[in-house]
Amino acid sequence: MSSFAQNGAIISIQNNSETDRNEAVVAIQWGAILEKFPSIDTMQFVVMNVVTEQQIPFQLEHKGKKSIQNLLIQIDIKSKSTLQLSIQKGKPIVFETKTFGRFVPERKDDFAWENDKIAHRVYGKALDLDPSEHPAKGIDVWVKRTNKMVINERYKRATAPDAKPNEYHIDHGDGLDYYQVEASLGAGSMTPYIDDTIYYSKNYVRYKVLDNGPLRTSFQLFFDAFEASNINVNVTKIISIDAGSQLSRMENTYSFNDAKGLPVVIGIRKRTNPGVISLNEQEGIMGYWEPAFADDGTTGVGVVLENLKNEMLVCKTAKAYTQVLAKTEVNNNEPIVYYSGAAWDKAGEITTASQWFDYLKTFSNNLKTPLVVSIH
């Protein structure tokens, strides 16, 4: 074993695509790092850019396990180029928190998550038990125009004793909640779809936080079993969000009492006023640029499927809500992965429909050409 292997390691990251990768979060297997740096102290190491000699933000990812699974790093890398990083002994600086999520018992058992671009929430069992509330089922969007974490402050304001009834919907300078979910799939939720009928589960009943920043937050949601056209269905969902990304990763696992595959749809709620829809069946991309909502601006919502399997992108009316749907099929106890998310024009980064659809296309292309990592 070389002396360097005892004291550090070099990570080479290669970008073979035609696109610069900015703010990219890269996962490196911890076991591979231990092979090259067996004496690493998890509390006393740094990741350095070899050229600039600057520290690189990192996170130790556990995926809900006691042992470390991956080293997460965030980098910028030009197209057709290679970046070299050094792992060595040292005292890491305190990295800015760029992702966060938590269970919100003070607001009907919401689970909310965010990064430095966007925020979301899903609804819990307590909402199902309150007949005075709207029967929200899908994914909500909280738009933001700050890279700071906003979830805790917004819930604190909204649940204060003297809070206004519409506190969520007031922009205090960093964004607001003006997205409308109601009884729809909202901004990219998935559910069974059989014989032209959408079958919604009740809201989640249990959760588990797997990792919580600073570069990736992930959590698992558990649901009670429900009936979909005489098929008994169970589902668990693992949701994760990376710093710098407009989209969250969705990993759903369905189990059901049917020998055949289960048809499902991913949906985006469509508004009454005209917006812009982009459907790319071949690439598995579904994009929607909403109509402007009064003075609150415009939200873009999108879905990218990682692995295509007999998808058909359609527009469909479901109950009182028109939704844009991506139809596919899942196998029993076999995870399906896709990405969903949103952007807000008032954040100043993505301000038009064409920019949003270009973002989704680039995101899809980057999935097909992942960064190549090697350790020396």
- pLDDT digits over 176-200, tens only? 999 999 889 999 999 999 988 999 9
Q: Tell me what the mean pLDDT of segment 116-120 comes to.
A: 98
How far apart are the C-alpha atoms of 176 and 265, rounded to whole Å?
A: 28
pTM of the model: 0.95
For residues 56 and 49, the answer to whether their CB atoms sit within 8 Å is: yes
pLDDT of residue 244: 98
Q: What percent of the chain has pLDDT over 70?
A: 94
- pLDDT digits over 223-271, tens only? 999 999 999 999 999 999 999 999 999 999 999 998 789 999 999 999 9
CB contact set of 104 (below 8 Å; sequence gap of 6+): 110, 111, 112, 121, 155
The phi and psi torsions of 201 (rounded to 5 degrees) equal -80, 170
Name the architecture of domain 3-91: Sandwich (2.60)
Q: Tell me what the mean pLDDT of segment 117-140 comes to.
A: 88
- β-pairing, 321-330 with 140-144? unpaired
Joined together, the tokens standing for residue 295 give 């003075």
- pLDDT digits over 137-175, tens only? 899 999 999 999 999 999 999 888 888 877 888 999 999
- Would you kindly state where each structural domain of the chain is located, as residue ranges? 3-91, 99-368
For residues 99 and 114, the answer to whether their CB atoms sit within 8 Å is: yes
The CATH fold assigned to 99-368 is Beta-galactosidase; Chain A, domain 5 (2.70.98)
